[in-house]
Amino acid sequence: MEIYNVQVLQVAPSLYMFEMRKSGGDTLEFHKFYKNLTTSLKDIVWKTIDEEKEGGTQGGINGAVVAS
């Protein structure tokens, strides 16, 4: 069983920031899930200029800002 902590904050009426962390369960399964999630959301996630230059934060989207 996987256990995740997710926090979603509304920054503006159509702008959200979220953070997701694994708090229990299998680490390998979490990384598979996380990779699938980040790949699926790549078109709606805003990245900083530094993340664009570096290719992201290890393929992740922690603290990402998402427009709705």
pLDDT digits (tens, 9 = 90+) for 15-66: 888 888 888 888 899 889 888 988 898 888 777 777 777 765 444 455 555 5
**Quick check: pTM over 0.85?**
no
* Residue of 62, 65, 2 whose CA lies nearest to 28: 2
Domain that holds residue 59: 3-67
Between 8 and 66, residue with greater pLDDT: 8
> pLDDT value at position 47?
72
Domain count, the chain: 1
> pLDDT value at position 65?
55
Q: What is the DSSP letter of 33?
A: H
Chain position carrying tokens 């708090």: 23
> pLDDT value at position 7?
92
